[in-house]
């Protein structure tokens, strides 16, 4: 601790490590992918940002950068975001080569700048997969996921009005497993992290959360077949079981769902309906 | 992919068991008898061999297709590409180890299947080949690559077939590693033993197999003859533990902490 802060020293010592003693601003060297439109050639543009607060979220840091760019007459960097609380899955960014950054089970919007070093160089790229074409700068089109959901997404049988909750018994184990699978926010980090750009983790989460519940039994077979067919059409790669998706997933979706998806698929192929 | 791979693993288990006959006596007679027995199946043997080749080619074709499709799924690469350490050395080199195995299998078939049978029997041919430095190297590299391939392959196949789940994942992954070590090290033992000269009295079988007075013929079988003499001189030695390290646990690569 430097002696010029003597007056605060006693106070800091009293409040343990003095983490809040001094909010030093951070300097960053950012290399950001800029691409005008889907067909344009993109490139990295370097920005130096000098007074980043460690308490900012990653997206707030980009907001600050954009304000400067706009003030200077430049075009703001396009990036996707919505809830900023880790539940919508919009904030698709690759930070230093890792989708949603290096923190485990954390979305980009939930990362704070204090997790970076002062003076650090940060590469910010869009998710890269042919099935997720770049729209502009850091924004990619994840419509492929929507089309997969649409392919298997609703039940054509008349469901009537909502039944009494207790009329439909769901075993706790199934409820837990279904809930874990349903935690998927459709962010696409699994595709971005997979060296094959495979969408198996996402599709397996969606197929699993319905297949595990009694409500999902109707059209269970046709659903998995249609979703897998759509997934293949979209140009995702094939799963080679390397589990990078699981490690990158901000919601901790397990690759055991992929085994279940394969099981459901084989089961559906073997069945007659 | 998974089905063909698992069937090939099944073959390898039987193949390793058959090879162990080489160690069951000092003369190589058991092994030669086993080979004769296989031959006596006649057309059935051809059917089995054809089936094996079909499996191999199918696996190869599927493996290459998957690899090319996967490369094509991301034409614009990341400028900075960092994984999270879930991948293993084995899982990221499947096509490389696979192609090494392919080349090795071709050499292997040329060595022992498509070559004319030596008068002193198959066991002697095998011992000669594996005692040569080049032979030993090819076989160790070939089965080493196979071991690495299999250390990812078994669990991967279980996932692909939907036979895995959270409860069995760890045991299945371990069983896959164990299988890779048993097959990798199991096959590597033959070149290690014969090259180091730790065992090699199959020589006596060669001599006995040859016609009386024709002992010299044994030494005229091309390179094999020379190395047969060579390995005689080497005498008994222990297997260096350092040789065995070659086929050790291939995981643990690429784990790096980033901050
Ligand atoms: C011609 C040589 C070979 C080539 C080119 C090859 C290639 C491949 C490739 C590219 C994969 C898929 C990669 C992945 O899923 O990560 C694979 C998987 C596999 N290979 Fe091979 N391989 C060869 C030989 C073998 C042999 C001899 C065996 C058996 C002993 C074998 C067993 C397996 C198994 C079990 C899998 C996992 C299948 C799955 O994940 O669905 N391979 N191989
Ligand atoms: S499985 Fe995980 S990484 Fe993939 S889309 Fe769902 S939340 Fe995102
Ligand atoms: S903005 Fe919604 S999860 Fe990040």
Determine whether the shortest distance from the Cβ of A129 to ligand 3 is under 6 A: no
Average pLDDT estimate for A157-169: 82
For residues A38-50, average pLDDT: 96
Ligand nearest to the CA of B60: 1
Q: Which residues of B touch A193 (CB under 8 A)?
A: 83-84
Percent of chain B residues topping a pLDDT of 70: 77
Mean pLDDT of B41-51: 94
Q: If you measure from the C-alpha of residue A194 to the centroid of ligand 1, how many angstroms do you get, rounded to a whole number?
A: 19
Of chain A residues 110-129, which have a CB less than 8 A from chain B? Answer: 115, 117, 123, 125, 128-129
Domains and CATH numbers, chain A: 5-125 (3.10.20.30), 142-270 (1.10.1060.10)
- A128 with B74: Cβ contact below 8 A: yes
Task: State how far the Cα of B90 lies from the Cα of B94, in Å rounded to an integer.
Answer: 6
Look at residues A96, A101, A94, A97 and name the one whose alpha carbon lies nearest to residue A79.
A94
Are B202 and B130 in contact by the 8 Å Cβ rule? The answer is no
Residue spans of alpha helices (H) in chain A? 6-14, 58-71, 143-152, 172-182, 189-193, 200-211, 220-233, 244-248, 256-270
Of the pLDDT bands very low, low, confident and very high (cuts 50, 70, 90), residue A22 is low
Mean per-residue pLDDT, B132-160: 97
Longest dimension (CA), chain B: 76
Residue in chain A closest to B257 (alpha carbons) equals A102
Express as a percent the part of chain B with pLDDT over 90.
69
Residues A231, A199: contact at Cβ < 8 Å? yes
Q: Which two tokens stand for residue B64?
A: 């290459």
**Residue A134 host element (H or E):** strand A134-136
Nearest ligand atom owner, CA of B106: 1
Which DSSP string do the residues of A164-192 spell out, in sequence order?
PGGGS---HHHHHHHHHHHT-----HHHH
- ipTM given for this complex: 0.86
Tens digits of residue pLDDT in A80-126: 999 999 999 999 999 999 999 999 999 999 999 999 999 999 999 99
User: How does residue A45 score in pLDDT terms, banded at 50, 70 and 90?
Assistant: very high
pLDDT confidence tier of residue A273, bands split at 50, 70 and 90? low
Average pLDDT over residues B226-247: 35
Confidence (pLDDT) at B115: 87
Contact A94, A126 (CB under 8 A): yes
Pocket around ligand 2 at a 6 A CB cut-off: A 89, 184-190, 201-202, 205, 249-251, 253
User: What share of chain A in percent tops pLDDT 90?
Assistant: 81
Q: For residue A264, which residues of chain B lie inside 8 Å, CB to CB?
A: 162
In this prediction, residue B233 carries a pLDDT of 28
Phi, psi of A141 (to 5 degrees): -90, 110
In whole numbers, what is the pLDDT of chain B averaged over residues?
81
Ranges A63-72, A112-121, B142-151, B228-237: which has the least confidence: B228-237
> Which residues have a Cβ under 8 Å from the Cβ of A33 and sit 6 or more positions away?
A42, A43, A44, A124, A125, A126, A137, A138, B79
A79-83, A264-268, B63-67, B239-243: least confident range: B239-243
Q: What is this structure's pTM? A: 0.84
Report which of residues A24 and A220 the model is more confident about. Answer: A220
Rounded CA gap, A256 and A260, in Å?
Answer: 6
Q: What residues form DSSP beta bridges with B42? A: none
pLDDT at residue B202 greater than cutoff 70: no
Closest CA to ligand 3's atom 1: A84
What is the Cα–Cα distance from A244 to B88, expressed in whole angstroms? 10
A204, A217, A215, A212: which is closest to A251 by C-alpha? A204
Neighbours of B191 (CB within 10 A): 24
pLDDT at position B96, please? 97
Any chain A CB within 8 A of the CB of B256? no
pLDDT digits (tens, 9 = 90+) for B84-136: 999 999 999 999 999 999 999 999 999 999 988 888 899 999 999 999 999 99
Q: Is the pLDDT of residue B150 over 90?
A: yes
Listed by start position, the domains of chain B span: 2-72+79-196, 217-258
pLDDT tops 60 at residue A220: yes
Per-chain mean pLDDT for chain A = 91
Neighbours of A268 (CB within 10 A): 19
pLDDT score, position B95: 97
Q: Kindly tell me if the per-residue pLDDT of A185 is higher than 70.
A: yes
Q: Check pocket membership of A91 for ligand 3, CB cut-off 6 A.
A: yes
CA–CA distance, A202 with A199 (Å, rounded to integer): 6
Q: What is the pLDDT of residues A188-212, one digit of tens each?
A: 999 999 999 999 999 999 999 999 9
Pocket-testing residue among B2, B107, B153, ligand 1, by greatest number of atoms within 8 A of Cβ: B153
CB B86 within 8 A of CB A247: yes
């Amino acid at each position: 601790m430097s002696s010029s802060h003597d007056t605060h020293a006693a106070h800091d010592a009293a409040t343990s490590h003095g983490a809040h003693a001094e909010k030093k601003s951070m300097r960053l060297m950012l290399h950001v992918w800029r691409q005008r439109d889907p067909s344009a050639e993109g490139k990295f543009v370097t920005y130096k940002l000098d007074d980043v607060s460690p308490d900012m979220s990653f997206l707030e840091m980009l907001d600050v950068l954009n304000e400067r760019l706009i003030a200077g007459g430049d075009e703001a960097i396009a990036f996707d975001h919505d809830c900023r609380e880790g539940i919508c899955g919009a904030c698709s960014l690759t930070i230093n080569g890792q989708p949603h950054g290096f923190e485990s089970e954390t979305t980009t919007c939930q990362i704070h700048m204090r997790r970076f070093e002062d003076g650090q160089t940060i590469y910010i790229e869009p998710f890269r997969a042919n099935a997720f074409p770049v729209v502009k700068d850091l924004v990619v089109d994840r419509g492929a996921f929507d089309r997969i959901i649409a392919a298997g997404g609703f039940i054509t049988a008349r469901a009537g009005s909502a039944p009494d909750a207790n009329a439909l018994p769901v075993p706790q184990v199934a409820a837990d497993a279904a809930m874990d699978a349903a935690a998927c926010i459709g962010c696409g980090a699994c595709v971005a992290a997979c060296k094959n750009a495979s969408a198996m983790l996402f599709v397996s989460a969606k197929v699993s959360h319905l297949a595990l519940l009694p409500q999902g039994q109707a059209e269970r077979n046709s659903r998995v077949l249609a979703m897998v067919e759509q997934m293949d059409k979209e140009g995702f790669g094939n799963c080679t079981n390397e589990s990078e998706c699981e490690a990158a997933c901000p919601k901790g979706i397990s690759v055991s769902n992929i085994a279940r998806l394969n099981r459901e698929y084989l089961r559906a192929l073997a069945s007659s309906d | 992919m998974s089905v063909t791979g698992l069937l090939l693993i099944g073959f390898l288990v039987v193949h390793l068991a058959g090879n162990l006959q080489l160690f069951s006596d000092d003369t190589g007679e058991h092994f030669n008898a086993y080979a004769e027995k296989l031959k006596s199946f006649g057309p059935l043997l051809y059917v089995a061999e054809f089936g094996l080749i079909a499996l191999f080619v199918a696996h190869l074709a599927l493996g290459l297709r998957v690899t090319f499709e996967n490369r094509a799924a991301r034409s614009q690469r990341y400028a900075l590409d960092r994984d999270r350490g879930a991948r293993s050395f084995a899982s990221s080199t499947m096509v490389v180890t696979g192609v090494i195995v392919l080349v090795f299998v071709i050499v292997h078939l040329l060595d022992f299947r498509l070559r004319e049978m030596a008068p002193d029997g198959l066991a002697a041919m095998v011992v000669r080949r594996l005692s040569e430095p080049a032979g030993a190297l090819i076989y160790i590299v070939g089965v080493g690559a196979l071991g690495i391939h299999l250390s990812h392959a078994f669990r991967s196949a279980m996932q692909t077939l939907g036979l895995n789940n959270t409860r069995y994942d760890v045991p299945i992954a371990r069983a896959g590693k164990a299988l890779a070590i048993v097959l990798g090290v199991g096959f590597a033992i033959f070149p290690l033993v014969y090259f180091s000269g730790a065992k090699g009295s199959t020589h006596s079988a060669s001599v006995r197999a040859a016609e009386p007075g024709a002992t010299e013929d044994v030494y005229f079988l091309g390179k094999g003859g020379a190395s047969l003499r060579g390995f005689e001189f080497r005498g008994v030695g222990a297997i260096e533990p350092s040789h065995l390290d070659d086929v050790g646990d291939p995981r643990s690569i690429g784990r790096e902490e980033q901050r």
